[in-house]
């Protein structure tokens, strides 16, 4: 059985964690930021000093390539992303990207000749600080010019980021690949949940990724003097937003579990101690496993927002802020991962992914699946995110052996 070089992988993980490091041990390397540019430069240097071929496409996706002797062979893709959320952790994205690079090095070092081109890839802007799944959707041909017009992170951030990376909307859209040239895609990632840890499993084999819908809700009332306007006559936008958060939380827990919702951003205007808020902007996101369940959640949650607004004499503006469809994954790739886990002597189980991943976009154009390793305490998007070194190595070895399984299969 072929295995990765443990020290080389752990060294790479430690080195990358320094880029965008926060004082509390976390990492802030949001997509297209200066820290992201630094992380990309580090990866580029790493690939070239490993003696591998480096590529960057029009969407800023970075790859290390080990070409097949047959130039017309298909490409087997595997990887993840280098960007992080603000003050996130050291493993989300980084593990899958660096384990892919290490798998490539292990195969090159072993002198194996495979019937496919191998490409370890880091996708641009997975987390959604700018667009979300930007690089993988571009490759999958699922990105539209409209999505670049109204990115969820704001147009200014996208413009500044594209300039920083030398990208243009045209170059991003040109990153689309012909599905005929691809063999399959596989991604290693941390679970970002506690199911594997709680069940004592080593490897999670993902059978589907939940869909995500995002909206900006704008509650609009009437700014007023916070002393002289009697409370019963106010149209306080925060009262409506607070009532919505309360009711949405309890309804989703009661009726949509294991579906989830989140309000992660809120602001009040004009914004002063002594002014009744005339406007509150609230970010709403929810996830579930099927389009039908998502439709039902959307109807219930937006209905609750309308009711909370009307209860407090407010207007409500609803602005869609992105949507990712649920993605069932490919049974043959799933079985390849299970076979590799068997080869490595590891306990594995099938599960759903409640986080969005680049695999979701890639599954639209090529047979795809992904594998999880445990996250301690299920903590993620947080400086305390941690995966045990043995699980890092287990995940990388299963990825490597999955690549070997898949290489001849498509």
Which alpha helices (DSSP H) does 110-167 contain, by range?
A: 134-139, 145-149, 155-165
**Closest to its own copies by CB, 6 or 290:** 290
| CA separation for the pair 142, 127 (Å, rounded) | 17
Confirm or reject binding of residue 266 to its own copies (CB under 8 A): yes
User: Hey, is 147 helix, strand or coil?
Assistant: helix
Confirm or reject binding of residue 253 to its own copies (CB under 8 A): yes
- Which letter, b or e, does each residue of 116-139 get, where b requires 16 or more Cβ atoms within 10 Å of its Cβ? bbbbbbbbbbbbbbbbbbbbbbbb
Instruction: Give the pair of three-digit tokens for residue 235.
Output: 């149209």
Beta bridge partners of 209: 327, 353
| CA separation for the pair 387, 18 (Å, rounded) | 17
Min CB(164)–its own copies separation in Å: 20
**Closest to its own copies by CB, 180 or 273:** 273
Confirm or reject binding of residue 287 to its own copies (CB under 8 A): yes
Q: List the interface residues with its own copies, window 210-229 (CB under 8 A).
A: 210, 212, 214, 222-229
Confirm or reject binding of residue 156 to its own copies (CB under 8 A): no
- Span from 46-54, 64-72, 104-112, 271-279 in contact with its own copies (CB under 8 A): 271-279
Residues 6+ apart with CB under 8 A from 293: 256, 259
Q: List the interface residues with its own copies, window 183-202 (CB under 8 A).
A: 191-193
Confirm or reject binding of residue 271 to its own copies (CB under 8 A): yes
**Closest to its own copies by CB, 113 or 233:** 233
Min CB(400)–its own copies separation in Å: 25
**Closest to its own copies by CB, 168 or 267:** 267
Q: List the interface residues with its own copies, window 11-70 (CB under 8 A).
A: none
Sign of the C-alpha dihedral computed for residues 43, 393, 29 and 289 taken in this order: positive
* Spatial contact of 251 and 237, defined as CB atoms under 8 Å apart: no
**H-helix or E-strand spanning residue 17:** helix 6-17
- The count of C-alpha atoms lying within 13 angstroms of the C-alpha of 127, restricted to the half-sphere facing its C-beta, is 23
User: Hey, is 179 helix, strand or coil?
Assistant: helix
**Closest to its own copies by CB, 267 or 299:** 267
Q: Which of 114, 242, 335, 376 binds its own copies (CB under 8 A)?
A: 242
**Closest to its own copies by CB, 109 or 319:** 319
Q: List the interface residues with its own copies, window 340-379 (CB under 8 A).
A: 353-356, 378-379
Q: Which of 36, 129, 202, 338 binds its own copies (CB under 8 A)?
A: 129
**Closest to its own copies by CB, 116 or 280:** 280
Min CB(57)–its own copies separation in Å: 25
Confirm or reject binding of residue 150 to its own copies (CB under 8 A): no
Sort strands 315-324 and 260-262 into parallel, antiparallel or unpaired.
unpaired
């Amino acid at each position: 059985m072929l295995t990765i070089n443990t020290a080389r992988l752990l060294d790479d993980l430690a080195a990358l964690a320094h880029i965008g490091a926060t004082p509390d041990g976390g990492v802030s390397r949001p997509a297209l930021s200066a820290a992201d540019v630094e992380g990309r430069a580090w990866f580029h240097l790493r690939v070239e000093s490993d003696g591998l071929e480096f590529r960057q496409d029009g969407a800023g996706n970075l790859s290390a390539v080990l070409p097949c002797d047959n130039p017309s062979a298909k490409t087997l893709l595997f990887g993840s992303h280098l960007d992080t959320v603000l003050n996130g952790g050291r493993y989300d994205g980084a593990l899958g990207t660096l384990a892919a690079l290490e798998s490539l090095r292990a195969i090159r070092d072993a002198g194996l000749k495979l019937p496919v081109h191998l490409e370890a890839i880091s996708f641009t802007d997975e987390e959604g600080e700018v667009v979300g799944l930007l690089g993988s959707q571009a490759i999958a041909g699922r990105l539209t010019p409209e999505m670049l017009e109204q990115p969820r992170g704001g147009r200014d951030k996208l413009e500044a980021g594209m300039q920083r990376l030398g990208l243009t909307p045209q170059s991003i859209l040109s990153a689309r690949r012909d599905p005929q040239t691809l063999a399959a895609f596989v991604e290693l990632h941390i679970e970002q949940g506690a199911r594997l840890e709680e069940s004592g499993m080593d490897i999670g084999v993902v059978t589907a990724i939940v869909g995500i819908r995002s909206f900006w809700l704008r509650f609009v009332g009437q700014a007023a003097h916070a002393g002289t306007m009697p409370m019963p006559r106010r149209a306080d936008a925060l009262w409506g937003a607070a009532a919505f958060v309360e009711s949405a939380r309890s309804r989703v827990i009661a009726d949509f579990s294991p579906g989830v919702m989140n309000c992660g951003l809120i602001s009040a205007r004009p914004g002063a101690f002594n002014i009744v808020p005339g406007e509150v902007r609230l970010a709403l996101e929810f996830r579930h496993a099927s389009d039908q369940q998502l439709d039902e959640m959307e109807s219930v949650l937006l209905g609750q927002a309308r009711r909370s607004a009307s209860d407090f004499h407010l207007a409500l503006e609803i602005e869609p802020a992105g949507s990712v469809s649920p993605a069932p994954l490919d049974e043959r790739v799933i079985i390849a991962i299970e076979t590799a886990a068997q080869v490595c002597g590891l306990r594995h189980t099938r599960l759903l992914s409640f986080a969005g991943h680049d695999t979701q976009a890639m599954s639209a154009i090529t047979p795809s699946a992904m594998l999880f390793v445990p996250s301690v305490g299920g903590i993620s998007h947080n400086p305390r995110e941690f995966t045990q070194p043995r699980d890092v190595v287990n995940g990388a070895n299963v990825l490597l052996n999955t690549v070997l399984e898949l290489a001849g299969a498509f």
